Structure 1
Amino acid sequence: MKFKSAKINEFRTWGLLLTLAGMLVMVLGTAGVLLWGDTGKVLMFFCMFIGSLLLMGSMGVYFWAGMMSTSAFMLECPECGKQTKMLGKTDRCMFCHTILTMDEKYAENSKPQDLS
């Protein structure tokens, strides 16, 4: 099942996952010194390098999400009434995950139906 959330929140989730992965790789590399002594120092060097790259990647993702967030269109969600940000032609509310759009061709109920 695909998770349903706003685009900005998806970018922030990927940034968090990269941060946690980088820290985990660094901790595992440090544990290599305790387990294997001098041989573990080489493993620690590589793990610290890869972990640092992952942390820099997460910094880039967070920066990118922040820049997109400053230029995002602010609107009030019709379902929950809270202010939310929208990227692109369609997005989801950050709070209640309602599908939002400003383009009528993407709207499901854009034209009222005649019931008579």
Structure 2
Amino acid sequence: MTMGGMLLMIIGLAGVVFDWGQAGRVIAVIFMIIGMISVLVSMGIYFWAGMLSTSATVIDCPECGRRTKMLGKTDRCMFCKTILTIDPQYEPLGDNETAATQTAHFEPSREHEHKPH
């Protein structure tokens, strides 16, 4: 979205650069506004994803042993794709699961939480 918005703003400037008169200025304004809205929406999405990442639980994957972040009650290890869950009622769907995929139930550790000073 960011690149698309910037491209729209550049295309809109063609109306001013090639001197298309009053119509070129109107085209430039319209494309600039649409492009800016697209860039601002993209910035909002990146901000939201960044805020989600800061509140994610950091755990050690029981399968590969590497540190990974977990969003929500059920997620996958970002390295080995093992299903990680803290939901004891979780039942994996047979359609999307392979024989190599395992479900690891665990209790997240509290040692990595931020402690106020």
Common topology (TM > 0.5): yes
CA RMSD of aligned residues (A): 2.4
- Structure 1 residue 42 displacement after superposition: 1.0
- Of structures 1 and 2, the larger Rg is shown by 2
Alignment of structure 1 residues 72-111 onto 2, 5 Å: 72-108=56-92
CA distance in 2, matches of 1:40, 1:63: 34
Runs of 4+ that moved beyond 6 A? none
Q: Which structure 1 residue ranges, 5 or more long, are not aligned? A: 1-17, 111-116
**Deviation string, structure 1 residues 34-80 (Cα, Å, up to 9, x no partner):** 45622222111111111111111112112111211111111122343
CA distance in 1, matches of 2:24, 2:78: 44
SS, match of residue 85 in structure 1: strand
Instruction: Indicate the residue corresponding to 1:65 in structure 2.
Output: 49
User: In the comparison of the two structures, how many residue pairs are matched?
Assistant: 94
Please give the TM-score of this superposition, normalised by the length of structure 1. 0.65
Q: Which structure 2 residue ranges, 5 or more long, are not aligned? A: 93-101, 104-117
CA distance in 2, matches of 1:107, 1:19: 39
SS, match of residue 74 in structure 1: strand
- Given that 1:32 and 1:44 are in contact with CA atoms closer than 8 Å, whether structure 2 keeps it comes out as yes
Equivalent position to 2:26, from 42, 48, 59: 42
Matched AA of 1:67: M
SS, match of residue 75 in structure 1: strand
CA distance in 2, matches of 1:77, 1:33: 56
Q: 1:34 to 1:98 in 2, by over 3 A?
A: farther
SS, match of residue 58 in structure 2: strand
Name the structure where helix makes up a greater proportion of residues. Answer: 1
- Given that 1:101 and 1:107 are in contact with CA atoms closer than 8 Å, whether structure 2 keeps it comes out as no
Please give the TM-score of this superposition, normalised by the length of structure 2. 0.65
